[in-house]
Chains A and B, each alone.
Chain A
Amino acid sequence: MEPPKIWREKRQRYLGIGIECKDCSAKTFPYSTHCPKCGGENITEYQISEKGKIVQFSQVYQTAKEMMSNVPYAVGIIELEDGIKVTGQIVDIDYSEIKKDMLVRRVLRIIGKDSKEGLIRYGFKFVPINYSLK
């Protein structure tokens, strides 16, 4: 984990900041200096929707060391209310209970830890709405 990368992406990772194009109105994530739809530079910051639904999902047993303390965990493609799609972990639910189209909410969580005393990387994950762990 490189500190400049974590610093550069902090607003995207902590707040879900993408862009809205003032020319073509496209809303996209992650942040970019040009609109990925029309290529224009006339952009403004935009915070992606907090809520969305699960498009498809799977489970991870092996990953980078910094995230191994969380395995097995669920990961999926989430379609947000504003139409933007992102990839994220689905937490606070048993894997067997996860269903397609389930409603989820974006929350700030620890994603990875370099080592016991190393860097901690934060970012967003998704928790189901109207669901409580049994």
Chain B
Amino acid sequence: MPPIATATPTRTDAIIIGAGPCGLFAVFELGLLGLAAHVIDILDRPGGQCTELYPEKPIYDIPAWPVISGQELTDRLMQQIAPFSPTFHFGEMAASLEKSAEGFWRIATDAGSVIEAPVVVIAAGGGSFMPKKPPLANVEAYEGEGVCYAVRKIEAFRGRRIVIAGGGDSALDWTLNLQPVAERVTLVHHRDGFRAAPHSVARMKELVADGAIDFVIGKLNALVGDAPRLNGVSVMTAAGEKMLPAERLLAFFGLTMKLGPIAEFGLNFSENLIPVDTRKFETSAPGIFAIGDINDYPGKLKLILSGFHEAALMSQAAFAICRPGERLRFQYTTSSTQLHQRLKVA
């Protein structure tokens, strides 16, 4: 559990969970109204599904962009919200939600950040991206020691025999990075082809040719050891079963979406979606809003442009909560001096 009691909470106007397109655009709409935001995302960069699942794929239904890639859309949004200087908590998962004694919503992340705000915006799409597990019996029992899905501390791999499984950039990058510190690195992939930066693949092949690492074409078959202690990884190759002695298996099989801790936030869910009204996009809990793919209402379309609209209306309601008694003036970015100042163009 995160160290809730020890951390001093940071105060802001709105806490946005999810740095996908809708969460990013919420920063903009809140910012126009003079509201500050913190943004939490379990990924280590912005964009959510757009950059994680289809960075290169073209999107054709963003207004005024006949075609734009997921990565470029994200880059443009980051540029658009830069004037509002949001605080990003990348690589952190919103772990808990509670009400503070003073009536603020308090969110703690798994990295120990504690943030308080009168408004929470859940823009979590399909949920948290979590590593896909290798389809092996008893894999959970080895997690945390023998089996890892990320490198948090390089020291945990020093002097160890490591099997790295996967064919993408993560697998290749860590093969190269851990080779100098590990006793031995063996890369396992089901084919002699990779979906990774060509220079990483070339470097890996050099290391194989030099005898510095091993590359095995095959499929993970079984874990051997006294869980959570790993002694070896059995791999099925064209020539039959091969046993690779190893204390660590690092599996990079991509990510999948799981609802995660927000399911335990005490909000109403209906088939993994959060019902909201269509005026404020507020959930059953006052001050907690849900926008983008994670919400549901009659006529809902899971489109990025729907989430943008929802962010705009949500922000109007958020203003009333964050600035009670203040009058909200409707202004256009084309002409308002105040908006120009907030956008840092005046």
- The answer on A and B forming one complex is no
Q: Which B residues contact A (CB, under 8 angstroms)? A: none
